[in-house]
Amino acid sequence: MKKQTILPSLALVILMLFSININAQKFPGLDGSPMDLAYFRANRNAPAIIKVFYSRPQLKGRDLSTLAPSGKVWRTGANEATEIQIFEDVNFGGKMVKAGRYSLFTIPGDTEWTVILSKDLDNWGSFSYKEENDALRVVAPVSKANEPIEAFAITFDQNNMYLGWGTTVVTVPVSK
């Protein structure tokens, strides 16, 4: 009698284990353009003033001009449009911008890039970008990096936001 109840129960438990774990063990590999974030703070211990979420595409032997073409709106990273959260009103590239959440787009150029804060949120890429939803546009100068930058990066110092990729560095002044 015990054998008759144990075998079906054991078979059911094994079946449940296989059916539950089949999907639970499938994790995606590392994205080719992993997400990152950058903070702008008055100092290391101060609360964040700006936080940027972005994906970091890599050149992988490709030319920057094919990945971020001159004169065309670019998502400023990879995958979803880069998101910038501003926690208090700031001077961004010489213009005041209100605290809020924005998408960060750029229009690359040879000597300067147009940097755009858009009210459109949660977009994949720049395919649905609409100029009429711009909250702010500023022009930022381009300089040459000391060493090539393989993976696109955004960073801050006490006075600027930097976008760097390849041998290109774009500088946007930022202050409270």
More confident residue, 128 or 62: 62
pLDDT averaged over the chain?
A: 89
In this prediction the pTM is 0.82
Residue 16 forms part of a structural domain: no
Domain of 59, in residue numbers: 32-175
Mean pLDDT of 19-33: 70
* pLDDT at residue 3, as a whole number: 56
Instruction: Using pLDDT thresholds of 50, 70 and 90, give the confidence band for residue 100.
Output: very high
* Residue 19 clears pLDDT 70, i.e. is over it: no
Give all strands of the β-sheet with 82-86 in edge-to-edge order: 35-41, 48-55, 82-86, 100-107, 112-118, 134-156, 160-175, 90-92, 95-97
* pLDDT at residue 76, as a whole number: 95
Instruction: Using pLDDT thresholds of 50, 70 and 90, give the confidence band for residue 31.
Output: confident
Residue 77 forms part of a structural domain: yes
Residue 118 forms part of a structural domain: yes
Alpha-carbon gap, residue 71 to 1, rounded angstroms = 80
Give the count of domains, the chain: 1
Q: Check if the beta carbon of residue 84 is closer than 8 Å to that of residue 100.
A: no
Residue 10 forms part of a structural domain: no
**Which residue type is seen at 43?**
N
Q: Check if the beta carbon of residue 103 is closer than 8 Å to that of residue 123.
A: yes
Residue 137 forms part of a structural domain: yes
